[in-house]
């Protein structure tokens, strides 16, 4: 399943999408380590698979937490996207 | 007492030829929604009984009310059901459920059962929100999109309009189709705006059916916009209470240029049915079975 976590700021609507089907076989779970804000967690989804998700208390503050990694700040590739070995994480910006 | 036009009919159904005592696995799904609560009972994966009731202010009571109505007259009691899955807004508050599963997964599973495994795009028009869901041939969710919590484009909006125009809610759909040509739609941003707009149209002398046509087109347009963002495949199915409103459904079909798959089942039970199917799969996987 594609799980979308989004936020809206003055410049538009943005989404982080996690393709959770790609998480099922993942052993490294690198996403837990690479995010500077420690936003990712592993949870059991509706189909009893262990998949990556954005932590509940971070979902409402993505606007602030993701801001430091946004390409506009000249940081280059996003750490979560670069860190995921299965290419499961995408950003819409 | 004045008539409450928004009041839709609560219903319950029992299979005449099935007997739960002969079934190996009896599971139930309870969908506690914002406006209505449904309970579905499956005997060996086949529909045995269901009930659709109004949700009160208390989730546990609404859940109990729905399952009691579904079990009524069958001799079945809660402890004889092998697995109960709760879903919907009130899913975490169903005290007798063994597990809670999101309504998105349950609707996809239910629609897969009701419309067959060809269903790929599901539009769930609930009481308080609407969702566009993509699923695979097993009814597993691939992607979904949900509107914000806003009554425009939902069942609650339709109730408001039925009350304003004093038209029983079941007659809204057919009445809105009485017009020869659709008038321009009213505002679809907000039900409160739509209501005041409808009111001023009535004062201008528009007949009720024309106002309803304007509202139904607004609602159809709003959900079509949502669906287009997620993409629509032609194997398309509508669940939830609004699927019973022919005025909205026919306008959605017209705008999308495709026909929704029809089903013999009650569109409102999709979530609870999906939950009961999840329950059955869990029992088979070695979960709880008394």
Does residue B39 lie in a domain region? yes
Q: What is the mean pLDDT of residues A68-90?
A: 84
Helix (H, G, I), strand (E, B) or coil at B283: helix
Q: Same structural domain for residues B67 and B186?
A: no
| Whether residue B273 sits in one domain with residue B252 | no
For residues B242 and B157, membership in a common domain is answered with: yes
pLDDT-above-90 percentage for chain B: 77
Considering the domain architecture, whether residues B175 and B42 belong to the same structural domain is answered as no
The pair of structure tokens assigned to B273 is 């049915």
Q: Does A74 score more than 80 pLDDT?
A: no
CB–CB contact B142 A1 (8 Å): yes
- Indicate whether B218 and B121 sit together in one domain: yes
Would you place residue B158 in the very low, low, confident or very high pLDDT band (cuts 50, 70, 90)?
very high
pLDDT digits (tens, 9 = 90+) for B211-222: 999 999 999 998
Kindly state whether residues B234 and B167 are assigned to the same domain.
Answer: yes
Point out the residue among B102, B105, B143 whose CB comes nearest to the CB of A2: B143
Decide if B251 is inside a domain: yes
Residues with Cβ within 8 Å of B100's Cβ and at least 6 positions away in sequence, in order, are B85, B86, B87, B91, B92, B94
- Domain assignment of residue B89, given as a range: 11-109+269-284
Q: What is the mean pLDDT of residues B44-64?
A: 93
How far is it, in rounded angstroms, from Cα B76 to Cα B78? Answer: 7
Q: Which residues of B make CB contacts under 8 Å with A?
A: 101-102, 104-105, 140-145, 278
Judge whether B157 and B194 are in contact, CB under 8 Å. Answer: yes
Distances (CA, A) of A59 to A23, A38, A56, B149, B277: 19, 12, 5, 16, 30
B45 and B159 inside one domain? no
Determine which of A7-16, A45-54, B236-245 has the lowest per-residue pLDDT on average. A7-16
Domains (ranges, CATH) in chain A?
Answer: 2-91 (3.30.70)
Residue B290 lies in a domain: no
The ipTM assigned to this model is 0.75
Q: What is the pLDDT of residue A75?
A: 64
- For the cut 70, the answer to whether the pLDDT of residue B288 exceeds it is no
Give B72-118 pLDDT, tens digit per residue: 999 999 999 999 999 998 999 999 999 999 999 999 999 999 999 99
CB contacts < 8 A, A to B, total 17
Q: How far is CA B242 from CA A24, B59, B116, in A?
A: 36, 22, 20
B4 in a structural domain: no
Same domain, yes or no: B132 and B90: no
B140 chain-A contacts, CB cut-off 8 A: 1, 47
Element (H, E) at A32: helix A31-34
Task: State how many domains chain B has.
Answer: 2
The residue behind tokens 């996207």 is: A81
CATH of the domain at B69: 3.30.420.40
- Same domain, yes or no: B153 and B255: yes
């Amino acid at each position: 399943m594609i799980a979308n976590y989004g936020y809206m700021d003055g410049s538009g609507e943005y989404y982080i999408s996690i393709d959770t089907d790609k998480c099922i076989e993942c052993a490294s779970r690198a996403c837990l380590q690479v995010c500077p804000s420690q936003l990712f967690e592993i949870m059991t989804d509706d189909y009893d698979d262990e998949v990556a998700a954005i932590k509940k208390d971070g979902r409402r503050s993505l606007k602030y937490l993701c801001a430091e990694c946004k390409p506009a700040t000249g940081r280059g590739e996003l750490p979560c996207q670069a860190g995921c070995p299965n290419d499961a994480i995408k950003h819409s910006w | 007492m004045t008539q409450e036009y928004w009041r839709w009919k609560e219903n319950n159904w029992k299979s005449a030829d099935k007997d739960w005592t002969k079934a190996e696995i009896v599971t139930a799904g309870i969908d506690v929604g914002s406006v209505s609560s449904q309970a579905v009972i499956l005997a060996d994966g086949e529909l045995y009984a269901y009930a659709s009731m109004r949700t009160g202010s208390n989730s546990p009571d609404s859940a109990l009310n729905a399952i009691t109505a579904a079990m009524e007259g069958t001799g079945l009691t809660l402890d004889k059901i092998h697995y109960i899955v709760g879903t919907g807004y009130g899913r975490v508050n169903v005290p007798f459920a063994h597990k809670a599963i999101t309504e998105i997964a349950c609707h996809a599973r239910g629609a897969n059962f009701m419309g067959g495994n060809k269903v790929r795009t599901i539009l769930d028009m609930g009481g308080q929100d609407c969702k566009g869901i993509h699923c695979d041939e097993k009814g597993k969710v691939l992607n979904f999109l949900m509107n914000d919590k806003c009554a425009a484009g939902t069942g609650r909006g339709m109730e408001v309009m039925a009350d304003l125009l004093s038209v029983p809610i079941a007659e809204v759909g057919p009445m809105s189709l009485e017009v020869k040509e659709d008038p321009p739609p009213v505002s679809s941003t907000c039900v409160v705006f739509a209501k005041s707009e409808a009111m001023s149209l009535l004062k201008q002398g528009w007949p009720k059916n024309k106002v309803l046509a304007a509202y139904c087109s607004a609602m159809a347009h709003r959900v079509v916009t949502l669906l287009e963002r997620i993409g629509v495949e032609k194997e398309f199915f509508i669940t939830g209470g609004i699927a019973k409103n022919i005025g909205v459904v026919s306008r959605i079909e017209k705008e999308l240029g495709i026909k929704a798959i029809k089903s013999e089942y009650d569109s409102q039970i999709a979530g609870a049915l999906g939950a009961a199917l999840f329950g059955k799969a869990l029992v088979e996987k070695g979960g709880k079975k008394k």
